[in-house]
C-alpha cells in the first residue's frame, strides 16, 4: 500500500472545506451566512478561520448521524482598521445556532486567545439557546463562556452583536460583555419566550415586544445600540472600537484632526440659557466642543436625562457624561444613575479620561424613585466617580445643586479639574427653595410676603447662586467663558493625562447594587 499523492490529499482538504462552508445545507445557507457577517465586519480579506472541521460528539436522540463540520459557530481572527480582533459568529443554519459542547469549546478558545494576545473579542450571536440533545454538556459550555466573559471584563473590550433570536442561557454572555448591538426588527433577546410567559402568566406578547431592539434600547437598558440593518450595526461596532484601546494596558488610538484645540465657539453663550428653568439639548453643546463636531452616543434611547458616549479632543479619545436639561430637567434618577455609573467604570477600566458636563437640579423626586431604590442606585454614581483613577474633568454649565452636584464628578469625589461657566449655580438647592427656608421668618412677617420672597430670592442668588463661592474654596479650579470650554478641556487634559493614582490594597470594593 503506497502513500497517497499530494494532489489527492489537497483535493480531500478542498472537499472538507466545501462541506464546512456549506453549514446546514444550501437552502439554509442562502438564508443566513455566519461567514458573510464576519466578512462585513472585518477588513477585506483579513479573516483567518480556525476549527472549521470541529464536530460534536453527542450520540443522543440520533444526533450521531447529524455531524456538520464547524458545528454551529465560525471562529477566528482578523482586523478592523488594521487592528487585530478575535471573532465568533453563530450559524443559525446548524441546529438553529444552538450551543453544544464543541461550539462552547471553539468560543472559549478564541476568547482565551484574545486574552493572551490582548485583543478585543466580538461575538455575533444568533442562537436558540442550549442544544437540548447535549443536556448538561451544553449547560457546562455556557458556564465556561460566562467565566471567561467575567475574567476578560476590563481587560479586553468585549462586543456582542445580536443578529437574530438569542434566548435562554444565550443572553447571559452578551449581558456580561461591554456593549450589546441590536438590529431593529431582527434581533431578539429574552430569557423566557412568549409561549412560556403565556402559559405561566396568561400574558400575550410577541417576541419583538418582549425582547426586540426597541424594547432593550429604550425600556430595559439591556442594549446599547440599535441599527436599522446589519450593515449599519457593523459600522457602529467599528465606530465604537475606534475610540478604544486594544486592551487595558494599551493606549487608545489618536486620530489626526485639523480642528484646532484653541477653537472658540461664541454660540455656546446662547445655547445654555441663563434662566435655570429653561431647557436645551446638551447634544448641541457637545458637538460644538469636541473634535470635528463628532460625538458617538452610547445608550441613546435609554435614560435620556443623562447622555453618555465617546468623543475626541485634540485627537485623543475621552468618555463623556452630560446631564440633559431637555429631559426631566436633567434630574438624576434610577436609570440615569445605572447608565452613567457603568459607563464611567468602563472608561476607567480602559484608561479613557472622563469629561463631565454638569447641569443638574437634583435627584428626581417621587414614590416610585424612592421605593425603586434611588438611594442605592444613586450611590452607584458616587462610587463610580470616586473609584475612577483616570483623569476626570468637569464643566459646570449651569445648575449644580445638593447631592446631585456631588454625584456629578465634584472635586470632593476626585475630579482633577473643575471648570465653571459664569452662569453656574453651585449650591445646596435652587435660590427659590433656599430663600423660602433661610428667610422664612422675614418673608412671613413682611407686609407683602410675595414681594419679600422675590427680594430674598434675588439676594440669595446674588450671594450664593454663582461659581465664585465655590471658586473661593477651591472646589472650582477655573471660571471660564462658555466659548473657552474646548481650549480649557484640552489644556487640562494635556496637564493631567499622565495622572497616577494609587489606592488602598484590597481584593475589590463592594459597589452598591
Q: Which residues are catalytic?
A: 168-169, 403-404
Angle between helices 101-117 and 135-152 (to 10 degrees): 10
Cβ atoms 285, 293 nearer than 8 A:
no
Unique residue bearing C-alpha cell 463631565: 356
Task: Give whole-number Cα distances, 237 to 211, 244, 318, in Å.
Answer: 21, 11, 17
Helix and strand totals (H; E) in the chain:
21, 16
- With b for 16 or more beta-carbon neighbours within 10 A and e for fewer, the 435-460 pattern comes to beebbeeebeeeeeeeebbebbbeeb
Q: What is the DSSP annotation of 167-192?
A: EGGGGHHHHHSSEEEEETTT-EEESS
Closest by CA to 354, choosing from 409, 275, 290, 399, is 409
Please state, in angstroms and rounded to a whole number, the distance separating the CA atoms of residues 146 and 177. 10
| Strand duo 425-427 + 392-401: pairing | parallel
Angle between helices 449-464 and 431-438 (to 10 degrees): 110
Please state, in angstroms and rounded to a whole number, the distance separating the CA atoms of residues 190 and 83. 33
Please state, in angstroms and rounded to a whole number, the distance separating the CA atoms of residues 358 and 212. 33
Please state, in angstroms and rounded to a whole number, the distance separating the CA atoms of residues 386 and 413. 5
Unique residue bearing C-alpha cell 472658540: 264
Cβ atoms 412, 406 nearer than 8 A:
yes
CA 386 remoteness from chain centre = 19
Cell of 277: 428653568
Amino acid at each position: 500500500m503506497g502513500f497517497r499523492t499530494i494532489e489527492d490529499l489537497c483535493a480531500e482538504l478542498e472537499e472538507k472545506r466545501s462541506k464546512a462552508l456549506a453549514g446546514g445545507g444550501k437552502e439554509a445557507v442562502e438564508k443566513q451566512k455566519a461567514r458573510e457577517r464576519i466578512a462585513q465586519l472585518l477588513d477585506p480579506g483579513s479573516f483567518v478561520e480556525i476549527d472549521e472541521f470541529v464536530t460534536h460528539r453527542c450520540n443522543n436522540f440520533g444526533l450521531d448521524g447529524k455531524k456538520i463540520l464547524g458545528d454551529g459557530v465560525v471562529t477566528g481572527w482578523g482586523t478592523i482598521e488594521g487592528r487585530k480582533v478575535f471573532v465568533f459568529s453563530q450559524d443559525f443554519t446548524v441546529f438553529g445556532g444552538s450551543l453544544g459542547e464543541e461550539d462552547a469549546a471553539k468560543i472559549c478558545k478564541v476568547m482565551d486567545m484574545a486574552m493572551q494576545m490582548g485583543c478585543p473579542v466580538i461575538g455575533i450571536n444568533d442562537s436558540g439557546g442550549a442544544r437540548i440533545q447535549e443536556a448538561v454538556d451544553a449547560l457546562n459550555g455556557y458556564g465556561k463562556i460566562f467565566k471567561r466573559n467575567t475574567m476578560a471584563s476590563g481587560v479586553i473590550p468585549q462586543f456582542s452583536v445580536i443578529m437574530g433570536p438569542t434566548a435562554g442561557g444565550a443572553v447571559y454572555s452578551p449581558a456580561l460583555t461591554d456593549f450589546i448591538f441590536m438590529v431593529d426588527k431582527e434581533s431578539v433577546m429574552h430569557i423566557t419566550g412568549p409561549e412560556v410567559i403565556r402559559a405561566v402568566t396568561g400574558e400575550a406578547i410577541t417576541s419583538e415586544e418582549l425582547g426586540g431592539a426597541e424594547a432593550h434600547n429604550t425600556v430595559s437598558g439591556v442594549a446599547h445600540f440599535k441599527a436599522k440593518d446589519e450593515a449599519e450595526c457593523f459600522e457602529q461596532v467599528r465606530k465604537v472600537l475606534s475610540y478604544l484601546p486594544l486592551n487595558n494596558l494599551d493606549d487608545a488610538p489618536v486620530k489626526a484632526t485639523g480642528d484646532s484645540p484653541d477653537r472658540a465657539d461664541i454660540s455656546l453663550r446662547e445655547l445654555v440659557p441663563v434662566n435655570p428653568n429653561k431647557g436645551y439639548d446638551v447634544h448641541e453643546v457637545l458637538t460644538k466642543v469636541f473634535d470635528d463636531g463628532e460625538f458617538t452616543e452610547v445608550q441613546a434611547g435609554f435614560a435620556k436625562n443623562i447622555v453618555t458616549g465617546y468623543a475626541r479632543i485634540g485627537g485623543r479619545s475621552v468618555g463623556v457624561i452630560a446631564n440633559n436639561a431637555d429631559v426631566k430637567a436633567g434630574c438624576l434618577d434610577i436609570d440615569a444613575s445605572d447608565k452613567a455609573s457603568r459607563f464611567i467604570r468602563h472608561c476607567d477600566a480602559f484608561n479613557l479620561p472622563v469629561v463631565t458636563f454638569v447641569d443638574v437640579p437634583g435627584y428626581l423626586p417621587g414614590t416610585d424613585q424612592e421605593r425603586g431604590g434611588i438611594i442605592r442606585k444613586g450611590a452607584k454614581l458616587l462610587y463610580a466617580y470616586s473609584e475612577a483613577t483616570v483623569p476626570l474633568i468637569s464643566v459646570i454649565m449651569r445648575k449644580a445643586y445638593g447631592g446631585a452636584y456631588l454625584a456629578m464628578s465634584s472635586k470632593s469625589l476626585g475630579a482633577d479639574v473643575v471648570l465653571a461657566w459664569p452662569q453656574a449655580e453651585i449650591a445646596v438647592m435652587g435660590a427659590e427653595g433656599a430663600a423660602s427656608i433661610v428667610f422664612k421668618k422675614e418673608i412671613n412677617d413682611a407686609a407683602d410676603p410675595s414681594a419679600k420672597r422675590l427680594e430674598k430670592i434675588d439676594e440669595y442668588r446674588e450671594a450664593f447662586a454663582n461659581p465664585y463661592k465655590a471658586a473661593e474654596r477651591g472646589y472650582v479650579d477655573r471660571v471660564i467663558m462658555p466659548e473657552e470650554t474646548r481650549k480649557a478641556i484640552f489644556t487640562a487634559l494635556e496637564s493631567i493625562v499622565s495622572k497616577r493614582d494609587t489606592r488602598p490594597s484590597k481584593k475589590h470594593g463592594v459597589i452598591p447594587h
